[in-house]
Amino acid sequence: MTDKTPTVHDVARRAGVSTATVSRALSDADKLHPDTLERVRQAIEELGYLPNGAARGLTSRKTRVLALCFLDQGDPESDAGDDAMLYIDGVVRGMERAARERGYAILIGAVQDPDAALDLAVSLASRADGIVLLGQAAPSSAIQRLKRLPVVVVAGRCEDDQGWVDQVRVDNAAGMTELVTHLIEVHGHTRLAYLGGPADSPDAAERWAAFRATLTAAGLPVPLPLVGDFTQHTGAQAAEVLDPVPGAVVCANDQMAIGLMTALRDRGVRVPEEVAVVGFDGIDLGRHVRPALTTVRQPMQPIGAAAVTLLERRLRVRDLPPEDLRLPTQLIIRASCGCPIPRLA
């Protein structure tokens, strides 16, 4: 009883055929005589043979793997950071489903430290046919270094590398514009406050820009933004600061909006009667808080799926102009903006 893991040779010997035949049994099964096929099947079964992916990848120059590289800054213990993870979970799901249809598996890697992103990306890229770089995990150094293989940047910095690599983003500007316009035109708000996200978030930047542009276009004054860190905690803090309570508070993401609403309620301020609160992202939780959160939905899964589509396209055709996909957002009107409660939450 040999304990080494069996190879094609072992299978071949046991089945009384050549290694080539074994190989064919695994791919072009139909090009074999049924009896031969059966013998090989037997041998494989009996030996517990598993093909060696590395050897396969070496000859075929393909791995049938698509990688995803992202930053996981969440404190493993607390609930903070869950927001980003919720987003990532959606993207992963979308990628996996899209990849599955095309015969790919997804390789996932994350780091805490942005400075480690490059090494991780290289390490993942060396085992994949293409790679998706998520948000902050896409320093231009990484993009340069990986130029040899298909790279898609999702939710990356806006300025850098534009027209350089394929990108997938969400149309933050359109979403925010739609949201603010709703507040102004439907509810007649004129005093809007803004609770923004971290300065290094491209999404946060785009949302803020669209917010002020929309106010300006409407001839309304642009408030000084509060700057949060995308956590519920930060949203709660904002409730303390907002003293002359404005008519409405626009938050750069849902978590902060929810934290804010909760703290406001604790302070005895009624939402949406006294102040409207709206968010951005469309996380599931927003459907279940009371009042249900009016927000702008980011299509997480479609983002993941689009990234895979782009990767696969470039795997087939290398010489293609870079694509810069902006996926549409969707305004989701619920109760926190002051709209009547719909029949179904």
Choose among its own copies, DNA, none what residue 36 binds, the Cβ cut-off being 5 to 8 Å by kind.
DNA
Of 5, 13, 1, give the one whose Cα is nearest residue 53: 5
**CA dist., res. 251 & res. 201, Å (int):** 14
Q: Which does 29 bind (CB under 5 to 8 A by kind): its own copies, DNA, none?
A: none
Partner from its own copies, DNA, none contacting 106, C-beta within 5 to 8 A by type: its own copies
- Shortest CB 104 distance to its own copies, Å: 9
**Other CB atoms within 10 Å distance of the CB of residue 16:** 11
Residue 128 · residue 122 · CB < 8 Å: no
Pick one of its own copies, DNA, none as the site partner of residue 123 (Cβ within 5 to 8 A by kind).
its own copies
Q: Which does 17 bind (CB under 5 to 8 A by kind): its own copies, DNA, none?
A: DNA
Nearest residue (CB) to its own copies, 72 versus 324: 72
C-alpha separations of 50 from 7, 184, 319 in Å: 8, 63, 36
Contact set with DNA (CB under 7 A): 4-5, 7-9, 16-24, 26-27, 31-33, 35-37, 49, 51-52, 55-56, 58-61
Rounded to 5, what percent of the chain is helix, strand, coil? 45, 15, 40
Residue 268: count of CB within 10 angstroms of its CB: 7
The helix (H) or strand (E) run that includes residue 171 is: none
Q: In the complex with its own copies, which residue's Cβ is closer, 146 or 250? A: 146
User: Closest CB to DNA among 41 and 212?
Assistant: 41
Q: Which helix (H) or strand (E) holds 125?
A: helix 117-125
**Binding to its own copies, residues 316-345 (CB under 8 A):** 345
20 burial (CB, 10 Å; 0-12 / 13-18 / 19+) is exposed
Cis bond before residue 291 (omega within 30° of 0): yes
In the bound complex, what is the minimum distance in angstroms from residue 217's beta carbon to its own copies?
A: 35
The least distance separating its own copies from the CB of residue 180, rounded to whole angstroms, comes to 26
Is residue 315 a contact residue for its own copies (CB under 8 A)? Answer: no
Taking the least distance from each CB to DNA, the nearer of 36 and 190 is 36
DSSP assignment of 66-99 equals EEEEEE--S-SSSSTTHHHHHHHHHHHHHHHHHH
* Residue 84 contact partner, candidates DNA, its own copies, none, CB within 5 to 8 A by sort of partner: none
Residue 337: name the closest of 181, 183, 175 by CA. Answer: 183
Which 50-109 positions form the footprint of its own copies (CB under 8 A)?
Answer: 50-58, 63, 65, 67, 72, 76, 82, 85, 89, 92-93, 96-97, 100, 105-109
Q: Considering beta carbons, is residue 51 or 198 the nearer one to its own copies?
A: 51
* Sole residue written with tokens 């971290």: 198
The smaller minimum CB distance to DNA, of residues 3 and 240, is found at: 3
Let me know how long the chain is.
345
Contact 222/216 with Cβ under 8 angstroms? Answer: yes
Residue 127 CB, shortest distance to DNA, in Å, is 11
Phi, psi (degrees; rounded to nearest 5) at 298: -95, 130
Which of 30, 34, 48, 243 touches its own copies by CB under 8 A?
A: 48
Residues from 202 through 261 that contact its own copies (CB under 8 A): none
Distance CA 229, CA 212 (A): 19
Whether 282 and 296 have beta carbons less than 8 Å apart is answered as yes
Q: Could you say which of its own copies, DNA, none residue 76 binds, taking C-beta under 5 to 8 angstroms by partner kind?
A: its own copies
| 104 and 65 Cβ atoms separated by less than 8 Å | yes
In the complex with its own copies, the residue whose CB is nearer, 60 or 221, is 60
Task: Rank residues 16 and 342 by Cβ distance to DNA and give the closer one.
Answer: 16
Instruction: For residue 216, give the amino acid letter.
Output: T
Q: Which residues contact its own copies (rule: CB under 8 A)?
A: 5, 48, 50-58, 63, 65, 67, 72, 76, 82, 85, 89, 92-93, 96-97, 100, 105-111, 122-128, 144-149, 262, 284-285, 288-290, 301, 345
